[in-house]
Structure 1
Amino acid sequence: MKKIVFALIIISSIHSFAQVDTTQLFENVESLLEDASQENEDSQIFDSIEYLLNNPILLNESSINELLQIPFLDLPAARAIIRHRNLLGGISYKEQLYNIEGISSELIEKIIPFLKLGDEKSTSFFDTFTQFSQNLSLKYRTRMQYDIQERLGFSNNKFLGSRPKYYNRFLINSSNAFQLGAVIEKDAGEESLTDFSSLHLQISELGFVKNILLGDFNYEFGQGLALWSPYSFSKGSDAVKVISKRARDSYQYSSTDENKFFRGASFQIDILGFKIIPFYSFNSLDASIDSTTNTVTSFTEDGYHRTLSEIRKIDSANEKVFGIMTHYAPIDNTNLGFLFYNSTFTPSISNTNIHKPSGSDHSYYSLSYSTTFNRIFFTGEFSFNNLSVASINNLEIFLENNFSLIISLRNYPRNYYSFHSNGFGEKSTTQNEVGFYSGFYWKTSFGVFNFYYDQFKIPVAGSNYNFSAQGNDFLLNYYHRIFQNTTATLRFKSETKEQVEIISNEFKLIDRRITNLRLEINHKVSRILQMRTRAEFVFIPSNIANSKETGSLFFYDLKYIPFNQFSIQSRIIFFSTDSYNSRIYEFENDLIGVMTNPPLYGEGFRWYLLLKYSTKFGLNVSFKYSELHKPNEKALSSGDSEIFGNLDNKISLQLDFNF
């Protein structure tokens, strides 16, 4: 597994880079990702943030739905902003935002980077074309990451390529109406510098044609039951805002996940109150092929092409997708959506696993809705795959500006499956799950409370055991500003799941509970110095099949900004857990565009140093050194990634050019 790398924050120019505190923005988004515990690479969970930073919303022209694309906003806040804008006849200065009733200054600071104030109008492609040279901006990013310790795949010559990982991205745009982008990447151990390449062209505002996408793109619809990008926000410290998904329809792809995107064309037409978005894609996928039956036995999603066996899987299968989505708003504050798409695989998929789809041809029909009645917000989706109907329905109630409540009911049948789904739930697949989620947000004079409780059931036996299973988890997150420059966060989470264990040579279901407790203190000493301290504990009680496990983590984080163009960030983490089962995750600050969430287990410490320098002529330089040390281990990691020794250290260097 690779470590999590998120396509995070792209700064549109040196001026905007000076305006946006990327560290603070990172910390704001991190609160939405506390339950992320996978080590995937190049997820697109931050694509909406990246896109909005590059293309901020024109506040004086925006609708409530457009404002809700900002992940920190909920419906009452978006309504209050629109109401204040209409009352003033427009908002031209950020100081006017601080006077909005019911919205805190902290929230305003979070959303300002995503807004464009003043009377600027949407620019059509034709207007942009006549002023192309004046409005043109070019952004180029190059990155190198290098593991100092040699991994087994290199020492035994199993990896055919060089040790560094390289990444390059080019973006050319003009007034948000035209964008051309390209990405080139090589993982460590791969031979070709262009092992993965991606290209997209986006043109906006061509009369009634609002958007054209050529090349690589992604697609989101409804609540993600039939079609969504590979990653999205889920359960975490924000109990209400992130449950109802906010689809971006079709949008350009500029990440480095090498399989989970579409390659073809999409365009949007707005006519007679309908928004219509047809699309077509033909993409090659890495897969394992059964030579006897000439069928796909599995898809490979890690994107590695380092060894001969991995290279043999490159582009072994093809997927052709075509479909159409339409949206219609019959009345104010109500939106209905319909989606149809067909996916065809060549070769066809093997039918050896009854819990996964097989064959070559798969069609999906989906209906989504969202509507608002005063302080009540309904969202949901029903999706049909020619076998069964999956559904999710969400109800958000905003009793007042300081209190909101959400209730969500999901039902994903065993024989429902979509290759491109990403619905809210306990499992990574939108299949074989029934769940009931409830949560609330409550802002008081003595702090902010977020609480959720999620109860779920796997009703039909899975592929690994002959039992159904169930479980639940709940979280309480309390945030309090102790002093003007000091905040504290207390987080308690408990999760109980039924797991299969072998007892007396029989398979049995046993409850397994994991409890986490976290305390974090943030203190801003001065304008140039900020400190952050965290203590976290995990406890897994014993049961008939397993012994008790415990774990702990402590870190101390320092951020120093001696002058505006230069920052130093460092963190040291001490951890001790009984095994991988009691592992603890911690998000780290990293290069702009990279986000790291390593699982820490066993006993040891980790530390890193991150330097960022922004020049006056459009060049930004970032450097990170990180080190993991486990004194009681003789080897780290496993398989081809194994390191002989107890030290794992890495350097990363990135240059950003903005013209």
Structure 2
Amino acid sequence: MKFWVFHIILAVTLCAKCSFAKSQSNDWRSYLEQLAEEGMDDTTIENMFQELTMLEGNPMNLNRVSREQLEQFPLINFEQAAHIAEFLDKNRPVYTVFELRNVSFLDFKTVELILPFFFAGKAEEEQPTVQEMLSRGRHEVQSRFDKTLQSRAGYGEFADSILQRYPNRKYRGEDFYTSMKYAFTYRDKIQFGLVGEKDPGEPFLQKNYPVGYDHYGLHLIIRELGKLKTLAVGDYRLSFGQGLILNNDFMISKSWGTNTIIRRTQGPKRHFSTAESGFFRGAAAVFQAGKITVIPFYSNKRFDANLSRDGEITSFKTDGYHRTPSEIEKKNNSREQVTGVNINYHNEQLQLGVSGVYHAYSRMYCPVVREYNYYSLRDSSHFNASIDYSYRLNRLAFAGETAVARNGATATTHMIQYTPSGLFSLSALYRHFPISYNAMHAQAFSEGSRVQNENGFYLGVTFSPLQKVSATTYIDLFRFPWPKGQVDKPSAGFDFYFLGTYAMDRNSNFELRYKIKQKEQNTDYPENSRKVLPYNTQKI
């Protein structure tokens, strides 16, 4: 399900395969469009769009914003957040957002990118009443309707005898897509939202399906209630440490992440996407006492699964489609409960965290045994624990996490970032995810889609050798020590990316991008022989 806003590409492709971007070149929407072009999945793009849209509509007060809020802002890195916080501590009150241009280590492009998310307001903290917050809050309604002009086979007419024999040939619903979203926000203090969605082919307000939309979502997030910093109820996303045991928040791509690879534990965020998987449903809270923060959470959510004849879960069904009798039968046929906690200590330089996550399914999870998934989890419950850290020393920043699964398998990732000036940044990351490590809600910086069966080293550089010239490049070397799907033996590869930008004026950029990735996969030869050979993909 492609997200409609990213179908409009603002860059014009030239015959030389370079791009010339004009007007709003530093707008955050252009960055998301670039990530969409580079293949980032639609759910991540939509989550990022919803999050940044909310932040833009409720900008942060430079005279009140905290270091923790800056560190969680997705468009700047750990080092930049620290320098902004130090600048504000020394220069408050500030009188205009353009004073951010005086922050060291912030280049002009980054300042232009983040300006819409801040304002210079009163330094005194306001204490509005509930009635004032409700009257001053922002209401937003989004509605979408799509209908294909070309008829598809699933919407045709079939004889009753055919449907009795092949009941899944016909969709039970109409051939249109529709969704509705309502949101109420008061700055970052209150967020309330309701989501409803129906995919093409799903029933809508029919006699046997009177509930309307196929999928509903609801969330309420309240912040700054004394020591209770955040309370989230309903649908939310959460991230601990570097994501080795828990992260269903969005992940930044490698090209964006050349200087943003260091993550910090994130408090609960609203899930305002139409995606029907990849989030929690329950409650989470953030308690803070001095330099100690505690984040407990609980989720109790039904989900779709493919079942064996014995009623065991063989795989998860995440596409969200409920069009045919077989798809409708799988809707919410299983349940997952997840609970956990993160406890972390933090000051201006150091952050240390300890996390634990336990989850249980209502059925046994037992995927069909294949060589590539031989070490996958086969149980109805699982537990993970981890220790994470981040430390800033002058122009160096360090971070990492080490996690352990119930079977004793240990995964680890560590990174370092060196930023001598706003014109140069060097980032390096090492990761080791053994094949026997399982974490069902993990998502970390990696080439593969799971935190499992991967070793890798990443090196990224961002620099501006001239006033109007900047470049971003990275190389990622990775190895999969165990066979993967469609790869019958251990394999390896690399990923290289280069982006050069020339700013002709404030609103016009000339960009040159080049990307090459090499991986290995099975290749069939004559006489039924099979080999694993490297293959390349290049983009310019």
Q: Does the TM-score normalized on the shorter chain lie above 0.5?
A: yes
In the alignment, which residue of structure 1 is the partner of 2:536?
A: 513
In the alignment, which residue of structure 1 is the partner of 2:521?
A: 499
1:58–1:121 Cα contact (<8 Å) kept: no
CA displacement at 1:63 relative to structure 2: 3.7
Q: How many Å separate the matches in 2 of 1:476 and 1:312?
A: 47
The correspondence for 2:361, drawn from 325, 337, 345, is: 345
Residue by residue over 1:507-550, the C-alpha shift from the partner in whole angstroms, topping out at 9 and shown as x without a partner, is 32211112221xxxxxxxxxxxxxxxxxxxxxxxxxxxxxxxxx
Match of 1:402, as an amino acid? L
Match of 1:211, as an amino acid? T
Q: How many Å separate the matches in 2 of 1:31 and 1:77?
A: 22
In the alignment, which residue of structure 2 is the partner of 1:88?
A: 91
**What SS does the corresponding residue of 1:398 show, helix, strand or coil?**
strand
408-417 or 172-181: which moved more? 172-181
In the alignment, which residue of structure 1 is the partner of 2:268?
A: 250
1:295–1:348 Cα contact (<8 Å) kept: yes
Residue 476 of structure 2 corresponds to residue 454 of structure 1? yes
Alpha-carbon distance change, 246 to 48 in structure 1, aligned in 2, over 3 angstroms: farther
Residue by residue over 1:395-443, the C-alpha shift from the partner in whole angstroms, topping out at 9 and shown as x without a partner, is 0011222111011000111011222111111111111000000010011
In the alignment, which residue of structure 2 is the partner of 1:370?
A: 390
In the alignment, which residue of structure 1 is the partner of 2:340?
A: 323
Alpha-carbon distance change, 394 to 340 in structure 1, aligned in 2, over 3 angstroms: same
CA displacement at 1:36 relative to structure 2: 2.1
In the alignment, which residue of structure 2 is the partner of 1:300?
A: 317
The correspondence for 1:61, drawn from 49, 61, 64, is: 64
Alignment of structure 1 residues 87-486 onto 2, 5 Å: 87-120=90-123, 127-129=128-130, 131-155=132-156, 158-192=170-204, 193-229=212-248, 231-236=250-255, 238=256, 240-291=258-309, 293-329=310-346, 331-353=347-369, 354-387=374-407, 388-445=409-466, 447-483=469-505, 485-486=507-508
Q: How many Å separate the matches in 2 of 1:485 and 1:211?
A: 39
**What SS does the corresponding residue of 2:27 show, helix, strand or coil?**
helix
**What SS does the corresponding residue of 1:326 show, helix, strand or coil?**
strand
Residue 91 of structure 2 corresponds to residue 73 of structure 1? no
**What SS does the corresponding residue of 1:131 show, helix, strand or coil?**
helix
Alpha-carbon distance change, 479 to 247 in structure 1, aligned in 2, over 3 angstroms: farther
Alpha-carbon distance change, 269 to 289 in structure 1, aligned in 2, over 3 angstroms: same
**What SS does the corresponding residue of 1:357 show, helix, strand or coil?**
coil
2:191–2:222 Cα contact (<8 Å) kept: yes
CA displacement at 1:72 relative to structure 2: 3.2
CA displacement at 1:27 relative to structure 2: 0.6
Instruction: Give the share of equivalent positions with the same residue, in percent.
Output: 27
CA displacement at 1:25 relative to structure 2: 2.7
2:197–2:274 Cα contact (<8 Å) kept: yes
CA displacement at 1:391 relative to structure 2: 1.0
Alpha-carbon distance change, 307 to 270 in structure 1, aligned in 2, over 3 angstroms: same
**What SS does the corresponding residue of 2:243 show, helix, strand or coil?**
coil
Q: How many Å separate the matches in 1 of 2:215 and 2:25?
A: 27
Q: How many Å separate the matches in 2 of 1:174 and 1:128?
A: 12
Alpha-carbon distance change, 114 to 92 in structure 1, aligned in 2, over 3 angstroms: same
Match of 1:283, as an amino acid? K
1:7–1:43 Cα contact (<8 Å) kept: no
**What SS does the corresponding residue of 2:63 show, helix, strand or coil?**
helix
- Residue segments in structure 1 that go unaligned for 5+ positions in a row: 9-19, 518-659
Q: How many Å separate the matches in 1 of 2:229 and 2:74?
A: 23
466-475 or 502-511: which moved more? 502-511
**What SS does the corresponding residue of 1:27 show, helix, strand or coil?**
helix
Q: How many Å separate the matches in 2 of 1:254 and 1:411?
A: 33
Q: How many Å separate the matches in 1 of 2:375 and 2:153?
A: 35
CA displacement at 1:459 relative to structure 2: 0.3
Q: How many Å separate the matches in 2 of 1:116 and 1:185?
A: 35
Match of 2:349, as an amino acid? N
Q: How many Å separate the matches in 1 of 2:506 and 2:140?
A: 38
Residue by residue over 1:436-483, the C-alpha shift from the partner in whole angstroms, topping out at 9 and shown as x without a partner, is 000100112151111111100000123545310000111111001135
Residue by residue over 1:93-124, the C-alpha shift from the partner in whole angstroms, topping out at 9 and shown as x without a partner, is 12323344553443222101111322255556
Q: How many Å separate the matches in 2 of 1:313 and 1:53?
A: 39
- Residue segments in structure 2 that go unaligned for 5+ positions in a row: 8-22, 158-168, 205-211
Q: How many Å separate the matches in 1 of 2:83 and 2:265?
A: 22
Residue by residue over 1:65-108, the C-alpha shift from the partner in whole angstroms, topping out at 9 and shown as x without a partner, is 42233333234533443343233222221232334455344322
Residue by residue over 1:136-188, the C-alpha shift from the partner in whole angstroms, topping out at 9 and shown as x without a partner, is 33222211122222222223571111122111111123353223211111111
Q: How many Å separate the matches in 2 of 1:67 and 1:133?
A: 26
In the alignment, which residue of structure 1 is the partner of 2:166?
A: none
**What SS does the corresponding residue of 1:419 show, helix, strand or coil?**
coil
Aligned residue pairs: how many?
500
2:305–2:315 Cα contact (<8 Å) kept: yes
2:497–2:515 Cα contact (<8 Å) kept: yes
* Structure with greater helix share of residues: 2
**What SS does the corresponding residue of 2:389 show, helix, strand or coil?**
strand
Alignment root-mean-square deviation, CA: 2.6
Alpha-carbon distance change, 496 to 392 in structure 1, aligned in 2, over 3 angstroms: same
Q: How many Å separate the matches in 2 of 1:181 and 1:22?
A: 31
**What SS does the corresponding residue of 1:190 show, helix, strand or coil?**
coil
Q: How many Å separate the matches in 1 of 2:45 and 2:364?
A: 28
Match of 1:128, as an amino acid? T
Alpha-carbon distance change, 119 to 483 in structure 1, aligned in 2, over 3 angstroms: closer
**What SS does the corresponding residue of 1:86 show, helix, strand or coil?**
helix
